[in-house]
Amino acid sequence: MSVVLVDAGGTNIGSVRYALQRLGVDAALTSDATTIRRADKVILPGVGAAGPGMARLRELGLVEVLRGLTQPVLGVCLGMQLLCAHSEEGDTACLGVIPAPVRRFVDAPGLRVPHMGWNTLSIRQKHPLLAGLDDGEQAYFVHSYAVPTGDYTLASSGHADEFSAIVARGNFHGMQFHPERSAAVGARLLRNFLSL
């Protein structure tokens, strides 16, 4: 099985790659369109801002490549947000493969932004990506923008309002949290993705 990490400049690439190595998978880091199209699984990691993330994908000529993929694709953190339609962060048009907006957490008394730390996952739909995951398990989040819940939401979490923690539409999947930092839960979810 060939797994690639899209080299879109995300700072979490090394930790995602190491998490995959612990599962016995050596994922290639690439920005080559042909390599990405030929891979069995594609992971789009990312930490940073939507505008520069999309600008990097455009510079690399990967926007249409990623939109056209038919194999399982996983966006992690910013990578999940880039799969969506539009981000309020920098008023950025994203890949649009998941029909959802990305919105900044609303400032409110006592609400810390960015949302950072462990938070509970609430399962909303059955899906092979969630195999073996129990309702109420926790994952590690670091983000200031979030995707509201919708029919694409597999699991949600809450920070003032409920938001999408795991999404899926067709072959595209996303995790707002960092599976590579989410201990056994994150390892299980990555293993499930590799099994799709």
List active site positions: 77, 178, 180
Q: Which of 115, 149, 151, 157 is nearest to 133 (CA)?
A: 157
| DSSP classification of residue 67 | H
Q: Is residue 45 exposed (0-12), middle (13-18) or buried (19+ Cβ within 10 Å)?
A: buried
Q: In what order do the strands lie in the sheet with 73-76?
A: 28-30, 3-6, 41-44, 73-76, 172-175, 161-169, 153-159, 122-123
Instruction: Report the distance separating Cα 143 and Cα 133, nearest Å.
Output: 22
Provide the token pair at 148.
Answer: 């509201």
Please tell me whether residue 164 adopts helix, strand or coil conformation: strand
